[in-house]
Amino acid sequence: MISNHEIPWFIPVLDGADSEAVRQTVVRGFVNEGPENRAFEKELTAYFGVPYAVTMPSCTTAIALTLKALGIGHGDTVLVPAVTFIGTASAVRLAGAEPILVDVDPVSFNIDPSDAARRVQKNTKAIVPVHLNGRPAALPALRKIALQHNLVIVEDTAEGLASKSGEGWLGTLSDAGCFSLAPTKIITSGQGGFVLTRSEAVRDNLIRLRDHGRLSRSSDVHPVTGFNFKVTDMQAALARSQFKKLPARIQRSREVDRLYMEGLRDIPEIIFTPRPENGGYLMWPDFKSKQRDALAADLRAQGITLRPFWPALHNQPAYASKEAYPGADEASREGCWLPCSPNITDEEIGRVIDTIRRFFGENYKQSGDMSREHYKK
């Protein structure tokens, strides 16, 4: 029987072990930020081989507090790519600074170092490169700019959890790396995130900012200003349970990407830009197509959701700019992510591939172009 159920772009997958982990925390009766958070931080430092991990309620707050922990705030500017989830830029504003948008490379979708160098101002203090969808940003080139202008680098690794470049784990290669455990990420704690850093000073500042200006909750003395960005142990327990699933999910992400590429790569209107090497992976299979919007509408009519890239930040009302960002325009106009929930089946992937192939086949028929080999099959 052919099933025509909806195939969403991405839905989080939670199981009995996840609910049991949360239940046990509730039964234990410690629901504040505590032992589950410490245990998760310990697991993260062991996995990534860095000395410090600090849990955070989200990647947006992680980036904001990391910038503050590095002394960045009012009167400062921070370079961010013009194509990213809006949280990268909002985090800069939450820290009190102002983002400067930088164009992206339309092939890697990541911040363009030559445009970054051009846009540095006197008050620029940091670069927040995004490893978009697990593709490593050009850190070696960005480091040169940072060195020249005395900037810090905070890696937005929201979409690069456990992806790698030739240098190692993304998010461990600069002053700090910020991660997301939001529901559309490869693992989730509902909302959530964390920071990895090799700097004890940054770690301590993050803990103070997270908990009302103090390093230890056993003290009611608050030496500096801090806030409440603590993560409950219920969320940390869920994060720990999901973290166990990460290696299998990465393996499946690679398989899903391979199946899509094998099924679609002979279609000239679909451009698969290079996949990360050296142990990297894509969190969500992506491609570019000039016909993206028509394709997405066609798939939607058949119950399949293709997710277009976000509008570039210079076209978002909150960050509107009249400056030219040609790479960002191209990426956000043509880029999209294929359906890829952690439990997507091979049959569902096959249906997505068939539906996309039919779309392009029919377009050729309409334009009278039937010359391409694969449409004669």
Ligand X SMILES: Cc1ncc(COP(=O)(O)O)c(C=O)c1O
Binding site for ligand X (CB under 6 A): 58-60, 84-85, 87-88, 130, 156, 158-159, 180, 182, 193
Provide, rounded to whole angstroms, the least separation between the CB of residue 292 and ligand X.
19
Q: Return the number of the residue (130 or 267) whose C-beta is nearest ligand X.
A: 130
Q: Return the number of the residue (39 or 86) whose C-beta is nearest ligand X.
A: 86
Q: Return the number of the residue (156 or 330) whose C-beta is nearest ligand X.
A: 156
Provide, rounded to whole angstroms, the least separation between the CB of residue 366 and ligand X.
36
Please provide the size of the chain in residues.
377
C-alpha dihedral, 162 to 165 to 168 to 172, nearest 10°: -70
Report CA-CA distances (Å) from 320 to 84, 125, 313: 14, 22, 7
Provide, rounded to whole angstroms, the least separation between the CB of residue 60 and ligand X.
3
The DSSP output letter for 4 is -
Provide, rounded to whole angstroms, the least separation between the CB of residue 286 and ligand X.
13
Contact 125, 151 (CB under 8 A): yes
Q: Return the number of the residue (33 or 298) whose C-beta is nearest ligand X.
A: 33
Q: Return the number of the residue (124 or 235) whose C-beta is nearest ligand X.
A: 235
Provide, rounded to whole angstroms, the least separation between the CB of residue 94 and ligand X.
10
Provide, rounded to whole angstroms, the least separation between the CB of residue 243 and ligand X.
15
Q: Strand 124-127 to strand 152-156: parallel, antiparallel, or no bridges (unpaired)? A: parallel
Give backbone dihedrals phi and psi of 155, rounded to 5 degrees, phi first: -80, 125
Contact 254, 281 (CB under 8 A): yes
Distance, CA of 131 to CA of 283 (rounded, Å)? 11
Q: Return the number of the residue (181 or 250) whose C-beta is nearest ligand X.
A: 181
The DSSP output letter for 259 is H
Provide, rounded to whole angstroms, the least separation between the CB of residue 339 and ligand X.
17
- Residue 110 tokens read as 């990541």
Where is 368: in which H helix or E strand?
none
> DSSP strand E in 21-92: where?
52-56, 77-81
Where is 353: in which H helix or E strand?
helix 346-367
Q: What is the DSSP string of 283-312?
A: SS-EEE-TTHHHHHHHHHHTTBPPEEPPPP
Q: Return the number of the residue (192 or 357) whose C-beta is nearest ligand X.
A: 192
